[in-house]
Amino acid sequence: GIVRFYEWFETESQLFLAMELLHGGDLLQYILEHGCFREDTARRLFGEICKAVRYLHDRNIVHRDLKPENILLTSKVVDTMQPKLADFGLARKNMKTKDCKTFCGTPHYFAPEVIHTFRDRESGLPSGYGTQADMWSLGVILYIMLSGLPPFEEDGLYEQILEGKYEFDVREWTEVSPEAKELVRQLMTVDPKGRLTVQQALSHKWFTIANGPSSPAPDPMAQDAVKLAEAATRRPAPMQSVEDDISRVKRRRTMEDHGCALTPIRQDLFGAAGCSFSEDFEQVETIGLRLQ
């Protein structure tokens, strides 16, 4: 379930990695071209993805950037394709529950505790995240595999993640089983302590129910595919936007505790960053800082 690495070599200016050749492209591109998966196919593929993540977590490795673009397929034939994890550029080894402290990854797949690392770093509070952040990302991936669209809207993205605001009452979910929805909910639980571990996910009843009838995949050119493509190309928000989103959530919760209702203020959190995360990390490592 993990892309095989063969060898590496370098020139004066570049480092090259030789890896196994996979002919199916990545999971995101398949969904954009063909629509979401039938539930029985999603069950098979997602089970294999979870097994690959279990292999990592059993060895105290956190991937930290699980997303459809980093899941490659062995074939474009849906009945025979197998998923394989790739891109371990942000992975860290020997990480316990809260050993990871770097604010990194891809925005639509951030776990709430990853966003909180920025707040807690500024306040000096001890915090961090670990393997459970990968489990949230798996929940987002499963949501996309079954519906063909991202669980969160672009505006106020971090705010939605921090409060766990996503929906199943759209037409794409009408034919999806209750067991699948339950698994998504248990993976996308805001509190990492209440979130399923990878072994618990693999033991979920969704993996044992008989395959029932599945709705046909939607038109890949529909608006849902457009939303998914936009989510894949979004860049990280500037730090001030993260802080603003956290503060807004805290203010709302305070008002709700006092019996007040507050209409959320939506704003685009993206587009202001000057470069991608990979570019950011290259710059960070160039000046000798260590990612945690």
Report the chain (292 residues): mean pLDDT per 10 consecutive residues. 92 91 95 95 98 96 94 96 94 64 70 80 66 96 96 90 92 94 97 96 92 52 52 50 50 43 28 35 36 41
Dist CA 283 CA 78 (whole Å)? 40
Dist CA 44 CA 143 (whole Å)? 15
- The CATH code for residues 25-286 is 1.10.510.10
- Rg for the chain (alpha carbons), in Å? 19
Going by C-beta distance under 8 Å and a sequence separation of 6 or more, which residues neighbour residue 263? none
3-state secondary structure of 53: helix
User: What confidence score (pLDDT) does residue 270 get?
Assistant: 26
* Among 26, 65, 224, 245, the one annotated catalytic: 65
- Residue 43, CA distances (Å) to 38, 53, 83, 134, 234 in order: 9, 15, 12, 18, 28
Q: Are the C-beta atoms of 104 and 90 separated by less than 8 Å?
A: yes
Dist CA 22 CA 100 (whole Å)? 31
CA 5 to chain centre: 23
Dist CA 163 CA 143 (whole Å)? 17
User: What confidence score (pLDDT) does residue 96 get?
Assistant: 55
Phi and psi angles of residue 161, each rounded to the nearest 5 degrees, phi first: -65, -45
**Rounded to 10 degrees, what is the CA torsion of 242, 244, 247, 248?**
-110
Which residue, 87, 90, 93, 59, is CA-closest to 71? Answer: 87
User: What confidence score (pLDDT) does residue 199 get?
Assistant: 97
Q: What is the pTM of this model?
A: 0.73
User: What confidence score (pLDDT) does residue 89 get?
Assistant: 87
Dist CA 96 CA 130 (whole Å)? 6
Dist CA 112 CA 80 (whole Å)? 35
- Residue 38, CA distances (Å) to 144, 177, 215, 273 in order: 12, 11, 7, 36
Q: Are the C-beta atoms of 211 and 39 separated by less than 8 Å?
A: yes
CA 149 to chain centre: 13
User: What confidence score (pLDDT) does residue 105 get?
Assistant: 58
Dist CA 67 CA 135 (whole Å)? 11
- Residue 36, CA distances (Å) to 134, 149, 269 in order: 22, 8, 27
Active site residue 99: no
- Residue 62, CA distances (Å) to 99, 161, 218 in order: 10, 20, 33
Angle between helix axes 112-123 and 131-147 (nearest 10 degrees) is 140
3-state secondary structure of 258: coil
The answer to whether the Cα torsion of 104, 130, 194, 37 is positive or negative is positive
